[in-house]
Amino acid sequence: MRVAGLQTAGTPGDVAANLRELDRMAEEAAALGADLLVTPELFVTGYDIGERLFELAKENPLPAVRDIAVRRGLAILVGFAESTEEGLYNSAVMMDRDGCEMLRYRKQHLFGELDRHFFLPGDANPETVSFMGVRMAAMICYDVEFPEYVRATALAGCELLIVPTAQMEPFTFVAREVIRARAWENQIYLAYINHDGREGNTRYVGNSQIVAPDASVLARIEHGDGLIVADVEPGLVARAQRENPYLEDRRPSAYGSLVSDTRKERA
């Protein structure tokens, strides 16, 4: 399976412009042989755009994303603000090349006041789905910085973890080093796809990358707009997990503090 990631500054606050960009880049990704195109977090609207987000989120972008996926002949995982009766969620949805929704994920770990002002936290763990022989799941940005959350997803059978992100200064080390550590300690593929440039008071760090189970970087773009492309090999994760058996060699009985909030108990 060939995965493409779109790093872009986008057009903050302009849904129509961002969907036009998605169409252009889906055409380009398909020409490169991509089976799946991944956008950054909240690609459809932009992230740090202020109160306009509430109004823009009322427009459902998924029919347009579905149409692009079908016309361009590839799956698309897009980050968007999901409007519901109870409020907004910071979400990602994957449409396959037939326009069928394969997964929907709502960000659980909200980062700072920018997230918490606008969004409710999701309450469902990442769903693992099969696409072209690869078991995959999605998280969003800050979620991947919690090692136990990624480990639980790997234990559920995920081979490729897709992470749309809006990583900002001063956290370049997360985009470059932490992501590789997450791939290595679980022996999985990880695609981390970021914004670049400036949006409101936020300056993004770029550094989108697709990482192999051995932590080698298969594709990366440091700054600027563009696509990165890498191949994900079905079966490689199982082989890597046999050769480096972190999951098999765990001692769950020693990890009690991971399943109870001992900080609150001590308070």
Q: Which domain holds residue 33?
A: 2-266
The rounded distance, in Å, linking the Cα atoms of 180 and 189 is: 9
pLDDT tens digits for range 101-157:
999 999 999 999 999 999 999 999 999 999 999 999 999 999 999 999 999 999 999
The residue-averaged pLDDT of 251-265 equals 66
Q: Has residue 241 got a pLDDT over 90?
A: yes
Run of H or E including 231: strand 226-231
Give me the phi and psi of 15, to 5 degrees please: -60, -45
How confident is the model over 206-234, as pLDDT tens digits?
Answer: 999 999 999 999 999 999 999 999 999 99
Residue 148 is predicted with a pLDDT of 94
Q: Is 198 exposed, middle or buried (0-12, 13-18, 19+ CB in 10 A)?
A: middle
User: Is there a catalytic annotation at residue 158?
Assistant: no
Residue 22, pLDDT score: 98
Nearest by Cα to 7 from 199, 212, 192, 138: 192
pLDDT digits (tens, 9 = 90+) for 51-66: 999 999 999 999 999 9
Residue with tokens 């929907």: 104
Q: What is the CATH number of the domain that holds 124?
A: 3.60.110.10
**Alpha carbon distance 214, 153 (integer Å):** 18
Percent of the chain with pLDDT over 90: 92
17-21, 44-48, 83-87, 249-253: the lowest-pLDDT one:
249-253
Q: Tokens at residue 19, please?
A: 């969907």
The structure tokens 């563009």 sit at: 226
Catalytic residue among 141, 158, 159, 199: 141
Active site residue 107: yes
Q: Domain total for the chain?
A: 1
Q: Give the integer Cα–Cα distance in Å for 216 and 234.
A: 17
Residue 68 CB coordination number (10 Å): 23
Pairwise CA distance, residues 209 & 224, whole Å: 13
Mean pLDDT computed over every residue of the chain: 95
Active-site residue, 264 included: no
Active-site residue (options: 107, 145, 158, 159): 107
pLDDT confidence tier of residue 253, bands split at 50, 70 and 90: confident
The 3-state DSSP class for residue 80 equals: strand
pLDDT digits (tens, 9 = 90+) for 127-142: 999 999 999 999 999 9
**Whole-model pTM?**
0.94
pLDDT at 265 over 90: no
Q: What is the pLDDT of residues 159-201, one digit of tens each?
A: 999 999 999 999 999 999 999 999 999 999 999 999 999 999 9
Its sign, for the CA torsion 153, 158, 159, 164, is negative
